[in-house]
A and B are shown apart, each in its own frame.
Chain A
């Protein structure tokens, strides 16, 4: 008889036994687990987890103008969403105003267009910032977006101590996978550090960075690589922050993380248990954490767009449900569930509502949130968690041997790991070795397409009109003088955040601020991709 199980692995290639026994798990499991809310945090970052507070249901949304996005946010909150997550259009992510000729078609297309502080105020019009928790998916222009948000908060009368949320602000993974970088790596890391320093000082409820494996995973790497590369990023950032002279315990408690949740249910749940244990070890053994919270990994789980299919799109509801379940079993602090129509376009309101309902059904009907770390103690789960951890440490060592993540990125090496892994996946789908339901198996002739989101083509014009009116009203000399003070700060190395806020208050635009940065830092071009 053929020994079939020898060929069976997890999605990231970890060999699986047919069944697991007590001796499948290495001795001394108790110390590898610890208690929930205590080192090494395998069982979760908080002692009460979902019994006290469910994860934040944080659907990613944003399109068109600030008013359009404000309306979508109000809708999501009215439907029981508990936190917000802002999607920005590509011109905003790449430091262009909506009026820039080269980006006309992209304004408001994949997120909201933000040109000025007034746009940010309009996004949060009628939504009290001091009572919200908001996630911002923004990186190269993260300091500008945070500055605009803080000025908008200030104009609402909010106290800085009450501003809660997370700024993605992870530029390394932009070079790695997501690709909305502007400035060269060293200057980019300096801006990340400015934000983290400022947030650690002034914003006790705000995470100034979300160290992210999500995009590398979506771009094609596997779960082990995702965790390994994220830890390598965390090391690179920590070293940069320490080099600034910041104390580890000053910034580490507000570091947050972001992972993908894909379809191999057990591997996804085990992956984040392993990640928490790895960060706890790094924080205490390598960086000498004194505060317990410095070693506590909290994460946002984004379900996976890359696993969705254009064929039989309703099948994606089931895929997303499994992904959300994996995130909950793994102990996520906040979750986004994909809309089932996202392989075809921006999700419709109906599809976003269903994604939110998926979270609510798992939270309130499935019962999985009643017990903390419910998978713990399974011979299989504990063995897989250990195996993932061991393999992810190997990646951390490979990156260190290659000179650290920043140097490896400049040489394009981890980018190649990701592309090769993506290609391998596609070949497996093509050969039928990897089954995608409705794509290479159980294919149906029904090619009906659900009603899709229609982009409002007038949004760009409305935004440009609004920008023109604001520029006409502002005091130009004040804006210019704030920008030249910002330029001086960028050149002399003082923290740029207060100066970016001043520029925002004076009516300077996102594009003007980014141009000031370009003038000082230059722009980055990707090395030849192959």
Chain B
């Protein structure tokens, strides 16, 4: 990192696993764009390796996962492992979707920086992601 604040936050969004519910992630992507962020949505069925590869290529500040099929713990763990393996440590991971309250803490313990279950207001989602992005671009 050069220490210079980037003009735009760079957010990589992805749907891991087999889940196809993409209403939420598209809405989040559109809202982030309207807030001035640069958004790369990778689409469905992304493996941890594919997401890490994209995050490196795009020099992402934040990776956002959306999971509505209940496998949020498994896919987050895999992504964090893949980030470590690729020495990708200057990116914040956030997870949204159908996340039972008890799993919010578990996800944070795994190293997920923020969790936004169904019901989180869209402006709140945008603020929290952009705040994390700003932290990641800080020297």
Contacts and interface: CB of A to CB of B under 8 A. Distances in A.
Contacts of A180: 18, 20
Given A422-B27, A452-B100, A529 B41 contact: yes
A492 to B, nearest CB: 31
Contacts of A344: 98, 100-101, 118
Chain A interface residue bracket vs B = 35 or more
Main secondary structure of the interface of A (DSSP, over half): loop
B69 A430 contact: no
A90 interface: yes
9 contacts: A102-B47, A105-B74, A109-B70, A109-B71, A179-B20, A219-B23, A343-B118, A345-B70, A426-B122
Interface of B: 17-23, 26-27, 29-31, 41, 43-44, 47, 69-71, 74-75, 98, 100-102, 117-119, 121-123
- Residue of A90, A218, A418 with most partner-chain B CB within 10 A: A90
A530 B29 contact: yes
A84 interface: no
Contacts of B17: 90, 105-106
Contacts of B117: 310
Nearest to B124: A430
Contacts of A529: 22, 26, 41, 43
B22 A306 contact: no
Contacts of B118: 310, 343-344
A528 B70 contact: no
Interface in A303-317: 306, 309-311
A419 interface: yes
B100 A91 contact: no
A346 B41 contact: no
A426 B18 contact: no
Contact of B122 (A309, A345, A429): A429
Contact of B69 (A110, A178, A439): A110
Given A343-B98, A345-B70, A310 B26 contact: no
A449 interface: yes
Given A110-B69, A344-B100, A426-B31, A309 B123 contact: no
The 4 closest A-B pairs by CB, nearest first: A179-B20, A310-B119, A105-B74, A90-B18
A103 interface: yes
Contacts of A306: 23
A528 B74 CA distance: 26
- Residue of A178, A180, A306, A423 with most partner-chain B CB within 10 A: A423
A311 B119 contact: yes
A530 B22 CA distance: 13
A309 B98 CA distance: 11
Contacts of B102: 452
Contacts of A449: 100-101
A29 interface: no
Contacts of A405: none
A423 B31 contact: yes
Contacts of A422: 23, 26-27
Given A90-B17, A105-B75, 14 more contacts: A90-B19, A103-B18, A104-B74, A105-B71, A106-B69, A109-B70, A180-B20, A310-B119, A345-B98, A429-B122, A439-B119, A439-B121, A449-B101, A528-B43
Interface in A106-147: 106, 109-110
Interface in A56-110: 90-91, 93-94, 102-106, 109-110
Contacts of B71: 105-106, 109
A426 B27 contact: yes
A94 B17 CA distance: 11
A220 interface: yes
Contacts of B123: 430
A526 interface: yes
